[in-house]
């Protein structure tokens, strides 16, 4: 097996292990008979999850700007316009796939058009 394939395989297996572990945390912590989770956990879930996703949005915008430097095309306007389109589509139609497709196609068109 080539090193490249091994790297990809390790990546995939690691993702599996991490995700499986995270999914099993409640059962590992409170799986015994009569043990119950504390109530404050609800509040944590409610606020931390969006905070993490917001962090990931920033993180992926940084990655996007490294690949397509904003100085080359209208100072990042197309990135934010496409992002805005995703928000609007998601608010109106509530269909994740349509929002992702719409935003991505719009962004690809703008890049293609030199914006």
Q: How would you classify residue 114: left for phi > 0, otherwise alpha for psi between -120 and 50, otherwise beta?
A: left
C-alpha distances out from residue 81 to 59, 65, 74, 84, 102, Å: 17, 14, 11, 5, 12
| Least distance (Å) between residue 70 CB and other proteins | 14
Q: Which long-range contacts (CB under 8 A, 24 or more apart) does 60-68 make?
A: 68/111
Counting residues that bind other proteins (by CB under 8 A) gives 64
Applying the rule CB under 8 A, the residues between 7 and 66 that interact with other proteins are 7-8, 10-16, 18-20, 22-27, 30-31, 33, 36-37, 41, 45-50, 52-57, 59-61, 63-64
Residue 103 contacts residue 89 (beta carbons within 8 Å): yes
Q: Give the residues lining the site for other proteins (CB under 8 A).
A: 4, 7-8, 10-16, 18-20, 22-27, 30-31, 33, 36-37, 41, 45-50, 52-57, 59-61, 63-64, 67-68, 79, 82-83, 86-87, 90-91, 94, 96-97, 99-101, 103-104, 107-108, 110-112
């Amino acid at each position: 097996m080539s090193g490249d394939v091994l790297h990809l395989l390790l990546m995939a297996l690691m993702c599996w292990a991490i995700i499986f572990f995270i999914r099993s945390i409640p059962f590992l912590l409170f799986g015994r008979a009569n043990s119950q989770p504390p109530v404050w956990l609800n509040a944590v879930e409610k606020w931390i999850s969006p905070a993490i996703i917001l962090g990931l949005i920033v993180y992926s915008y940084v990655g996007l700007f490294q690949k397509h430097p904003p100085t080359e095309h209208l100072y990042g306007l197309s990135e934010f316009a496409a992002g805005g389109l995703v928000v609007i589509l998601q608010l109106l139609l509530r269909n994740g796939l349509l929002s992702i497709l719409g935003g991505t196609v719009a962004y690809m068109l703008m890049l293609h058009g030199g914006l």
